[in-house]
A and B are shown apart, each in its own frame.
Chain A
Amino acid sequence: MSETQLSSQQAPLPSHGSFQQAPLPSHGSFQQAPLPLDVAIIGGGFAGIGTAIRLKQKRIENLAIFERGSAPGGTWRDNTYPGAACDIPSRLYSYSFAPNPDWSHTYSGSAEILKYIERMVDDFALRPMLRFGHNVTGVHWDEASSLWEVTFDDHPSVRARSVVMASGPLANVSFPGIRGLDTYEGHKIHSARWDHEFDFTGKKVAVIGTGASGVQIVPELVKVAQSVKVFQRTPGWALPRTNLTTRRTTKDLYRKFPAAQSIARKAWFWGHESVALGVVWNSPLTRVVEAVGKLHLRRQVRDPWLRRQLTPDFRAGCKRLLMTSEFYPALQRDNCTLVTWPIARLAPKGIRTVEGIEHQADVIVFATGFDVSKTGTPVPITGRDGRVLADEWSSGAKAYKSISVAGYPNMYFTFGPNSGPGHSSALVYMEAQIDYLVDAISHAIARNSVLEVRADKQSEYNTDLQRRLQRTTWNSGCSSWYLTEDGFNATMFPGFASQYVGQLKSVNYDDYTVTEYRARVTAARAATV
């Protein structure tokens, strides 16, 4: 799967815990009403964990991470399908403030990445802050107290001065809207909710979808299944991927000399930056990327018709590039067939395609991605004067530098609108977001203030952003999950990662309206001093 996909956190509804209220802050013990949190973090995946670490490092510890699942890790906890791995090198797909010298391969598998997240939770002592089984049902701004109220479906609500929405853009999954979906009597598995109890050995398997997850699942399934039929709607550009084992000496080097690992990370960073020239913008270098893709295809697939079926007819980069050297060989195994006929419907025993044939299968694997929220919000968010963010985003999500939204003070988004990388690590972007919002939060706490981005600054930013997006591959004509149905791009950042990181280097408080924090607790605290 793509690393963009894997930067979110979500889970099926968990069993409910017995958490009563957010922890009381360290500096007081009021009997009447629980003191508000300094920060409520929604989501216990990479973004939520990273935010908590950086806040702690700034000594902001009156915080809680609300996670609807029963363990941290977000997407990496949930995406455990065979072959699940990140398509960005681990050296770059990790936080610079939590380097890991022990990555086993250039590109790590999901289990190893999850272990990395769990290790961060333990190393930075975050467990007391994690509130599992907390499914957020709404986040509402209370003007009188200058506090956010976070409500849950089965727990008392909590109040917080700041909220960090770290729930991820790709947090929910569902089966695609194929006709007759419910009539199929075999087993259905979604790639992001893998059923480890199901034994694929000797089974007739159908896989729907050939995106980032599909190309990783198929090479594993063909090893055990009797037959695998891969149903493809649109082929993607695939580039070769060499996954080398990290030598012990390299690990030792990184452990003894962390600077060496930092250099390796920078090398990967700038290597990916150079790819942006062909992947982000529709440029002559895009043709170079396509030529590499075609060469890769030609080298691995001999049959011209199969090559044609696997050749995309959109610009490279317009949809997520696939990094795989295993997919094409897997497709050509004797027990594997690529089906490019459109799916007409599901029938009780299999998939009926428009060429009139019913492809029977014991199990259907849906590698069909996520429900991407580009025009709404994952949970209802009500800001100043009762404004509803989902309404404001109904024609496409907009924010200031992807992090702040006018009318929603002291609220910050990780992986917010137009923060998606097409060529680099989502964690590079995420780290920049986290450092930015942590600065803003600590500024607000230190000055007892409320920060709200100015509407005019947000508007200016988005006007410029959309203008720049016009020249990108994503807006070059293909339809992808990056765009709304109307073709609005609320997902990707039109530039280098270094540009994105650069714009978040420091918070320009002139772009924010700063007002006084009016919570009752402030007065109470003042009285006790």
Chain B
Amino acid sequence: MAFDFDEMLVKIKDKQWALADIDWDAPGAETIGPELWTKLKPFMSDLMWIENVGARGFAAMAKKAPTDTLKEIYTYFHAEEQKHANAELALMRRWGMLDGDEIPQPNVNVKLVIDWLDKYSDQTSLAVLGTVIPMLEVALDGALVKFIVDEIDDPVCQEVFKKINSDESRHLAVDFQVIELLGHATMRKILVETVGAWMNPSLIIGTLRYIPLLNKMRDNIVAMGVDEERLYTAMRRFKKVGERSEFPKRLPMYRFISWHSGVVINRAHPYHKFADALVRATAKYPKKLLRPQPTWSKELTYEPVA
């Protein structure tokens, strides 16, 4: 049956929730023990920033959506990712992880991606963003969110992530449908767009920032005590869901992302020497070279009411 984007948009509107729907002072925060607390803090911060990065990605995709409906869907997804980040920040506050009102800073790999998104995402084609963003959602968001749901007992956290999961399921449904639609284009168009995209240095720069981001996240997950198999399962899912039909496979960008995910989950692959080196190199990235943090990445708030 053909995917109905209009119906999906109605569903998205029907399923809206707000931070004010949640009792942030309800009991349960004490279930986070000191050891978990220490590990969870950087993990939540990363997760929150990934949501924020995803939000910006959707904002760029909204600019390129071929129909008004998809544009509106992406506009909603942009806002929903921001909502997830806000909710995760509110959880951090609930668990006493914020230093006063200060919002934790993103790590250097996230900062590099934020910088790239700010500078290049609006000029990047839907074919590129439409395959990378789903990968980020599946691999990072999907895996990390699942971990939280499985490992954290705090009922407020459970309530929040149940809502986030529900939103994400719609994001992924649309993401993969768009990949499928992109795959319906003529091969000539696909090739022209792909060559055009890779001729642009911004995509090379973006890839060089994306690679260490993934490996850095993997390291953080492992440090958390999370079985990295969770991440790999999520990445396999990207491949599996994407290849339910023949069309995504026609997209070189999808094939590349899919191949890359396969490499990432193969610890023995020489790729990791390169990727891990990039993680180490980016850790020493001179902060002076980073442009000032863009305004869009300063809009996070844990306050349900403004």
Contact = CB atoms under 8 A, between A and B. Distances in A.
B76 A358 contact: no
Contacts of B79: 341-342, 353-355
Interface residues of B, number: 27
Q: How large is the interface on A (under 10, 10 to 19, 20 to 34, 35 or more residues)?
A: 20 to 34
B122 A341 contact: no
A58 to B, nearest CB: 48
A385 interface: no
B305 A355 contact: no
A352 B16 CA distance: 10
B18 A358 contact: yes
Interface stretch (B206-214, B257-265, B296-304): B296-304
A181 interface: no
Interface string B39-81: 0000000000000000000000001000010001001100110
Contacts of B13: 179, 344
Contacts of A341: 79, 82
Interface string A301-313: 0011110100001
B76 A354 contact: yes
A453 to B, nearest CB: 36
A355 B20 contact: no
B63 A358 contact: no
A479 interface: yes
Contacts, number: 66
A358 B306 contact: yes
Contact of A355 (B68, B83, B118, B122): B83
Contacts of B296: 305
Nearest to B83: A356
A196 B42 CA distance: 53
A347 interface: yes
A345 B16 contact: yes
Interface in A334-358: 341-342, 344-345, 347, 349-350, 352-358
Contacts of B18: 344, 347, 352, 356-358
Nearest to B86: A356
Contacts of A349: 305
B96 interface: no
A310 to B, nearest CB: 12
B68 A359 contact: no
Given A345-B16, A360-B306, A355 B295 contact: no
Contacts of A305: 118, 294-296
B75 A342 contact: yes
- Which are the 5 A-B pairs with shortest beta-carbon distances? A354-B79, A356-B83, A305-B295, A344-B16, A355-B82
Given A349-B305, A350-B305, A358-B305, 12 more contacts: A304-B295, A305-B118, A341-B82, A342-B76, A342-B79, A352-B20, A356-B17, A356-B86, A358-B18, A358-B19, A360-B306, A479-B68
Interface of A: 179, 303-306, 308, 313, 341-342, 344-345, 347, 349-350, 352-360, 479
Interface of B: 13, 16-20, 63, 68, 72, 75-76, 79-80, 82-83, 86-87, 118, 122, 294-296, 301, 303-306
